[in-house]
Amino acid sequence: MKHIYSDVIVILLGIIVGYFFLFSNAYLDLIIAALVGVALIAIQKENTSIRFIPRLAIGSVIFGVGVFVLYAAVLYFFERNTEMIIKFFKDIAFGTLFFAAISFIAGLLAIVVRGFWSIKK
């Protein structure tokens, strides 16, 4: 149960920080998405790679959806701009999948690095 709380904390921090750097010019949003994937692997205490993947996949999808739900909520509540949300719904959906994929791929690379690290030990 402690691991679920740490996963939730990592995902929520990633969503909040990811929102602030969303669509930045310096690709900070991609770096944050990758760091969320790596953090989801780093906090787990598993010893086989197959056990990492379900939590990584669920965490990546929640992160991707969370960033863009927050983005759409800010557009709606602060700008009252529903036309913009409807107009860019495809972009928002694509962005959700994109951020989830970046997070998932970074997590897979973290699994590989963690495997090499355990072999070296």
pLDDT in tens, the chain (121 residues): 556 777 788 888 887 777 777 666 667 778 888 888 888 888 888 777 788 888 889 889 988 888 888 877 777 777 776 777 777 777 777 878 888 999 999 999 999 998 888 787 6
Q: What pLDDT, on the 0 to 100 scale, is given for residue 21?
A: 72
Q: What pLDDT, on the 0 to 100 scale, is given for residue 105?
A: 95
Amino acid identity at 95:
G
Q: Please give the model's pTM, rounded to 2 decimal places.
A: 0.80
Indicate left, alpha or beta for 44 from its phi (over 0: left) and psi (-120 to 50: alpha): beta
Delimit the domains of the chain by residue range. Answer: 2-120
